[in-house]
Amino acid sequence: MMKMKMKLLLFLCGVLWVSADVLHEDLNILGCSDSDGEFMFTLDGEEVWYADFKKGKGVEPQPPFVVHISYPGAYEAALANLQVCRSNLKVCRSAMKDIPDENDAPSNLVIYPRDDVELGEKNILVCHVSGFYPAPVNVSWTRNGQKVTEGTSINVPFPSKDSTFTQISRLQFVPQLGDIYSCTVEHLALEEPQTRTWDVEMDNPQSGPGPAIFCGVGLTIGLLGVAVGTFFLIKGNECS
């Protein structure tokens, strides 16, 4: 029963404009559940504008060096669209009540630091979750087993071409030797949460034995090739 109540139904309409001679893709995403909603404009796969319904305003997430496109009245339009979406959702629910919901658990979960790790230097840990349906996922973070909420953020669900979603959660952190971080993802299609861990270690073998071994093996194979080639070259000459 509890599960039914928590279930989020997301109704999604995407409108796609593709111009044939100039290859840009402008996507407008509208989605809703009873408690949640999404309205977003993207250009070539980048989030250009989205409505933050919790804060009651539009957000332009692009960095300052990008020319920002403004959408006057967009937040009001987003609110109106959310109402339309919810009433469509109601209709869809009753029309499709005998069809089981389709759920896809996240197919890919990766944790990595945004910048090269320098001890004591501010960095951002990224938890990249993709391949799930419906949206959203919950992402939680720990440092050395303790839950962390400060300095975390998550973007709005981003739809992929295969009609699954991607979400990226970020954690601001300062790498200290030996610290262990984890990100845990919850999704309604997952029976239990999935976790990835990442630890700060400085002795990662950037110039260690790894490349040297590959170089050695490569060189050996190369020399072997030369030897075999020479052998057949001589053999060939003997025959003629």
Residue count, binding to ligand NAG (CB under 6 A):
5
Distance CA(96)–CA(220), nearest Å, equals 64
Least Å distance, CB 11 to ligand NAG, is 17
Phi then psi for residue 186, to 5 deg, are -115, 135
Least Å distance, CB 54 to ligand NAG, is 13
Distance CA(125)–CA(173), nearest Å, equals 7
Q: Which span (9-17, 59-67, 102-110, 181-189) binds ligand NAG, by CB under 6 A?
A: 181-189
Least Å distance, CB 14 to ligand NAG, is 22
Q: What is the DSSP string of 197-224?
A: EEE--S---SSSHHHHHHHHHHHHHHHH
Q: In what order do the strands lie in the sheet with 37-43?
A: 11-18, 25-32, 37-43, 46-52, 57-59
Give the nearer residue to ligand NAG in terms of CB position, either 52 or 186. Answer: 186
**Contact between 140 and 171 (Cβ < 8 Å):** no
Give the nearer residue to ligand NAG in terms of CB position, either 77 or 188. Answer: 188
Least Å distance, CB 89 to ligand NAG, is 18
Give the nearer residue to ligand NAG in terms of CB position, either 26 or 186. Answer: 186
Rule CB under 6 A: choose which of 1, 6, 20, 221 binds ligand NAG.
6
Site string for ligand NAG, 128-157 (x = CB under 6 A): ----------x-------------------
Tokens 């504008």 label which residue? 49
Give the nearer residue to ligand NAG in terms of CB position, either 156 or 200. Answer: 156
Amino acid (1-letter code) at residue 166? T
CA angle at residue 191 from 52 to 195, to 5 degrees?
70
Task: Show Cβ contacts of residue 171 under 8 Å, excluding neighbours closer than 6 positions.
Answer: 124, 125, 127, 141, 148, 151, 152, 181, 183
Residue 188 binds ligand NAG, judged by CB under 6 A? yes
Give the nearer residue to ligand NAG in terms of CB position, either 168 or 188. Answer: 188
Q: Which span (124-132, 148-156, 183-191, 219-227) binds ligand NAG, by CB under 6 A?
A: 183-191
The string over 187-205, giving b where at least 16 C-beta atoms fall within 10 Å of a residue's C-beta and e elsewhere, is bbeeeeebebebebeeeee
Least Å distance, CB 157 to ligand NAG, is 12
Distance between first and last Cα of the chain:
85
Give the nearer residue to ligand NAG in terms of CB position, either 6 or 234. Answer: 6
Q: Which residues bind ligand NAG (CB under 6 A)?
A: 6, 138, 186-188
